Structure 1
C-alpha cells in the first residue's frame, strides 16, 4: 500500500483551528492540540453564556420595573400580579422600557392595574 501524506486537507484543518484561536494567550494559540482543546472549550462557554445572557437581561428588566414601582410606593410582585389579573398583556421588557423612557405612561399603567 502506498503512503498517503494527507496533503492540504489536514493542513487546512489545522490552520483553521489555529486561526480561530488566534487571540488566545500563550500555547493556546500556537500549538495545535492545545488550540483544539481551547476551541472546544470556548464553544461550550459561548453556548452557555448565550443562554445565561437571556437570564441576566430578564433579571435587569425586573430590577428596573421594581425600582420604578418603589418610587411610587408599590412592590414589583403586586403590580405584576394585578396586571395579570386585569389581563394587561405587557411583558417585562416593554414595562422596563416604559418605566425608563415614559414615567407618566408607567404611572398610568400602575393606576390602570387597580393598585
Structure 2
C-alpha cells in the first residue's frame, strides 16, 4: 500500500476530525514557513513583505516552503536571493526618484540637496 491509500483510508475512518486536523496542520506549517523567512530576511536587512514583493518583481517563483527550506539548509543561496531582492528594491527607489528634475507644472514637497 502506498501513502495516498493509507491517508485516504485514515480520512475515511476519521471523517471530519481528519479534515480539521489537516486544516490546522496546513495553517501551522504556513505560519512556520513565514516566520522562518521573516527571521532569515531580517538577518539580511529586509522585512518580509519587501523581500517577497521584490522577489516577485524579479520573477523568482519560489513558494514559501522552498524559501523556508533555503533559509535553513542553504543560507548562501538565501543570501543571494536577499541580495537580489535588495538590489531590486534599490532600483525601485532610484526609478521613483528619477533624475532629480521636476517635470514642468508639478509642485513637490520633496527637498533635494543641490
Q: Which of the five TM-score ranges fits, normalised by the shorter chain?
A: 0.5 to 0.7
Q: In the alignment, which residue of structure 2 is the partner of 1:100?
A: 72
Q: Would you identify which runs of 4 or more consecutive aligned residues in structure 1 move more than 6 Å?
A: none
The structure that has the greater radius of gyration is 1
The higher relative CO (CA closer than 8 Å, separation ≥ 6) is in 2
More helix by share: 1
Deviation at 1:43, TM superposition (A): 3.4
TM-score using structure 1 length = 0.60
Which stretches in structure 1 are left out of the alignment for 5+ residues? 1-39
Give RMSD over aligned pairs.
1.6
Residue 36 of structure 2 corresponds to residue 58 of structure 1 = no
Q: Distance in 2 between matches of 1:79 and 1:49?
A: 31
Residue 41 of structure 2 corresponds to residue 83 of structure 1 = no
TM-score using structure 2 length = 0.60
Q: In the alignment, which residue of structure 2 is the partner of 1:111?
A: 83
Q: Distance in 1 between matches of 2:45 and 2:71?
A: 14
